[in-house]
């Protein structure tokens, strides 16, 4: 008889059976335990309920979290809120420390610039600026100009040779946005980047993965965002209308970080002023990226 037919057969449930225990040596009958399938099902069901009930009681007795009432409940809630606040402050502190360290790397101990690449250049001794002498708190002031941070010190310019630019050949750099280069890179005119004109509200993308080391407002250049990449490479995006990332954020290559704009005093229309710095020196972006 099949199992399904047995389950719905009343006579099968009442079939009398017996469990016989015999001696191992002579097979003599030692004990006989009569039972029916119905008895086995009932006993198994109650055994399951007993085990489940005991497990529930033990879990709530020994493993349940403590319950607080009255003043104890208020104190427990305050402790939880304080723990959450401490965790948040710890994350902010780590982000600030990373930001300060990145700024120190940008400034370095000896800030240098490019000479006009159309001429043969000689390196002049520049006055050294130690990182410890930099007032980091000034970086958050609205009137702090980005170029003063990047170009602090002697205005003598040092040339980044072709051999140094070879170090960047393994980097794949994204175009920050699609547009027309309206003004070229020119050290002679103190224009340490290129101006790119594009459609209104065009997204600005990070040229490579890295960490945002500045995302703020300056009087001259409006909303500015700066990203530090590997190989001591830094990219700067000025005159933005909206900044989508904040200091300490990690960005991927090609990720949108800002929107094109016309902010700041030194602007003549909607565009992006884009700069690339390598080892503390401004580099012509068109030597690294095809526009």
Q: What is the pLDDT of residues 102-160, one digit of tens each?
A: 666 555 443 333 333 333 333 333 333 233 333 334 334 434 554 555 544 333 444 55
Report the C-alpha gap between 179 and 270 in whole angstroms: 11
Report the C-alpha gap between 152 and 104 in whole angstroms: 12
Please count the other Cβ atoms lying within 10 Å of the Cβ belonging to residue 146: 19
Report the C-alpha gap between 272 and 289 in whole angstroms: 15
Report the C-alpha gap between 207 and 200 in whole angstroms: 20
User: 183 in helix, strand or coil?
Assistant: strand
pTM over 0.85: no
- Phi then psi dihedrals of residue 218, to 5 deg: -130, 150
User: 272 in helix, strand or coil?
Assistant: strand
Indicate the pLDDT class of residue 165, thresholds 50, 70 and 90: low
Is residue 238 scored above 90 in pLDDT? Answer: yes
Q: Residues 6 or more apart from 236 whose CB is under 8 A from it?
A: 146, 150, 193, 224, 225, 226, 273, 274, 275, 276, 277
Report the C-alpha gap between 85 and 159 in whole angstroms: 49
pLDDT digits (tens, 9 = 90+) for 3-36: 666 677 778 888 888 888 888 888 888 888 888 8
User: Where do the structural domains in the chain lie, given as residue ranges?
Assistant: 3-62, 162-287
Worst-scoring range by mean pLDDT, 82-86, 208-212, 216-220, 276-280?
82-86
CATH number assigned to the domain with residue range 162-287, chosen from the 4 options 2.60.40.10, 2.40.10.350, 2.70.70.10, 1.10.600.10: 2.70.70.10
Q: What is the pLDDT, as a whole number, of residue 159? A: 52
């Amino acid at each position: 008889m099949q199992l399904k037919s047995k389950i719905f057969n009343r006579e099968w449930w009442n079939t009398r059976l017996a469990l016989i225990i015999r001696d191992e040596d002579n097979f003599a009958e030692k004990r006989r335990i009569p039972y029916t399938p119905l008895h086995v099902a009932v006993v198994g069901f109650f055994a399951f309920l007993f085990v489940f009930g005991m497990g529930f009681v033990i879990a709530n007795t020994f493993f349940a979290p403590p319950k607080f009432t009255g003043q104890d409940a208020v104190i427990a809630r305050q402790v939880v809120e304080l723990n959450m606040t401490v965790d948040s402050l710890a994350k902010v502190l780590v982000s600030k420390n990373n930001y300060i360290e990145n700024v120190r790397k940008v400034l370095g101990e000896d800030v240098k610039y490019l000479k006009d690449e159309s001429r043969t250049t000689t390196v002049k001794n520049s006055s050294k600026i130690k990182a410890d002498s930099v007032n980091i708190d000034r970086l958050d002031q609205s009137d702090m100009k980005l170029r003063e941070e990047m170009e602090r010190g002697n205005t003598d310019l040092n040339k980044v040779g072709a051999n140094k630019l070879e170090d960047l050949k393994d980097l794949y750099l994204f175009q920050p946005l699609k547009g027309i280069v309206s003004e070229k890179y020119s050290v002679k005119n103190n224009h340490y980047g290129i101006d790119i004109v594009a459609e209104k509200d065009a997204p600005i993308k990070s040229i490579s993965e890295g960490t945002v080391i500045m995302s703020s407002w300056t009087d001259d250049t409006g909303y500015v965002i700066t990203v530090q990449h590997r190989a001591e490479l830094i990219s700067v995006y000025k005159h933005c209308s909206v900044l989508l990332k904040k200091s300490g954020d990690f960005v991927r290559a090609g990720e949108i970080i800002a929107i094109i704009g016309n902010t700041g005093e030194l602007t003549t229309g909607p565009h992006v002023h884009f700069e690339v710095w390598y080892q503390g020196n401004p580099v012509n972006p068109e030597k690294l990226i095809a526009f």
